[in-house]
Amino acid sequence: MLTSANLPIATSLSKSISLLRASRQPSLCWCCTTSLATFRPLPLAHRIAAPRQIHTTHSNYANPLPLGGTVDGPPPDPPVPQPEYITRNRLRQAAIPKPRTERFWEDVHLKVVDGRYKILLDARSIKTSAKNDVSVPVNKPLLAYALQVEWATMRNSKEALKSHFIPLTSLTSRAIDLEIAEKDSTPVETIEATSEGEEGGEVDVGNTREQITDFVMGYLDTDTVFMISPTRGGHLAAAGEKQLRDRQLDVAHDIIEWAQENIPVPKGEDKLDFVLSDGDHGILPNSQSDRTKQILRDMISKFSAWELVGLECAVILSKSLLVALRLVMENRKTADIKWDVEDAAKACNLETDFQVEQWGLVEDTHDVGHADLRRGLGAVVLLVSELNIPLPEQ
């Protein structure tokens, strides 16, 4: 209700609205909510009760500027650092050691020296850990050319220090050192220190063959092809597919049959006998007979240094002495190969392959293991294989 107390306020407000409407310019009213071009005054009672600002400071509106700034022309140049800062930064960068990203050789080639292929980096020969030249017999040309490719594809010198970049060189170096050590008449060899605070000493290399033989024979009782899964339990194969136990029995019988036909026994004696570890009777392995162990040990002790090192590597990869023996013995003569890398990989990896069929492949795990196993077994085949071909012209 309009009274004498609020009459001056209503009069003042009415005059202000009339002046703003007379200007005919769109702007905002005092409460910043409605354009005055479309403003319609409220009834007097509502205008008196409308909210009002409690501060008296005049509102400042933003002034829009043209795009690109207020100054015409290109932007100013960046500030130039002072000479002392430039010198300091150069000294700091020079003090940081930069890794070598390039190799020190340009060409890798083979040269026949004294009936052996010698791998040369330009004019330098590759050395083993015992400071022997890396060279292979002329009856192993596949290994020689594979070593050449291994070093020719290196991008920098640091890769030569990592064993996974030089698997063939590592195996070849071990075989060369063992071969030379067995030819030497001295049973010991002086080596340099291997770490700080450790002095050089004498290391017996005469028993290296015995150590390797003992090592690989330790896998016989727990050979992976002798371990058979139980009849019950586990996961079943799809309809029409063989169960894991049936696959293991097929591989085990095939390996045992090959061993009985190809591993020589003393004249007049029976063939070798092997005992399987059946999962139906527990998970503990069965020990093989002393006669079987002795016959295998005698045969392995007659292997050449190249075959012995290849057998050691194959046993580590396959966890099976018989799989490794068959791979080495079947691939010594490349003209007649009946059992190759793929056969060996499948024989020693039955459980993993079966699980992949049931549940699928785990990326960066199963696929990496699949490739790494075949790469390692392939290196063994190259190490032990022999092939007589004409020597290249020098």
What are the chain's domains? 108-193 (no CATH), 207-384 (1.10.3580.10)
DSSP 289: P
In the chain the beta strands, taken as DSSP E runs, fall at: 108-113, 116-121, 124-125, 135-137, 188-191, 201-204, 227-228, 277-278
For residue 157, what are the contacts with CB-CB under 8 A and spacing of at least 6?
Answer: 100, 102, 103, 104
Report the alpha-carbon distance of residue 389 to residue 337 in Å, rounded: 17
Contact 179, 305 (CB under 8 A): yes
pLDDT at 241: 79
Report the alpha-carbon distance of residue 168 to residue 119 in Å, rounded: 12
**Residue 20 is which amino acid?**
L
Q: Six-digit token pair at 130?
A: 């015992």
For residue 224, what are the contacts with CB-CB under 8 A and spacing of at least 6?
Answer: 318, 319, 320, 323, 348
DSSP 236: P
Contact 133, 125 (CB under 8 A): yes
| Backbone phi, psi, residue 136, to 5° | -125, 155
> How far does Cα 146 stand from its chain's mean position?
21
Of 75, 37, 205, 63, the closest CA to residue 132 belongs to 205
Report the alpha-carbon distance of residue 341 to residue 373 in Å, rounded: 9
Q: Six-digit token pair at 274?
A: 């092997």
- Here the contacts of 185-192 (C-beta below 8 Å, separation 24 or greater) are 189/130, 191/130
Of 72, 13, 76, the closest CA to residue 45 belongs to 13
Digitized pLDDT (tens) for each residue of the chain, 394 residues in all: 545 555 555 555 565 555 555 554 444 444 444 454 555 555 555 555 555 556 566 666 777 666 555 666 677 787 777 777 778 888 887 776 655 557 788 889 999 998 899 999 998 999 998 899 999 999 999 999 999 999 998 888 888 888 888 999 999 999 999 999 888 854 434 333 333 333 334 434 445 889 999 999 999 999 999 999 988 766 677 777 788 899 999 999 999 999 999 999 988 889 999 999 988 887 788 899 999 999 999 999 999 999 999 999 999 999 999 999 999 999 988 767 788 999 999 999 999 999 898 888 888 889 999 999 999 999 999 999 998 777 666 5
pLDDT at 231: 84
Contact 35, 26 (CB under 8 A): yes
For residue 83, what are the contacts with CB-CB under 8 A and spacing of at least 6?
Answer: none
Report the alpha-carbon distance of residue 311 to residue 327 in Å, rounded: 8
Report the alpha-carbon distance of residue 223 to residue 326 in Å, rounded: 13
For residue 93, what are the contacts with CB-CB under 8 A and spacing of at least 6?
Answer: none
Q: Six-digit token pair at 175?
A: 């075989």
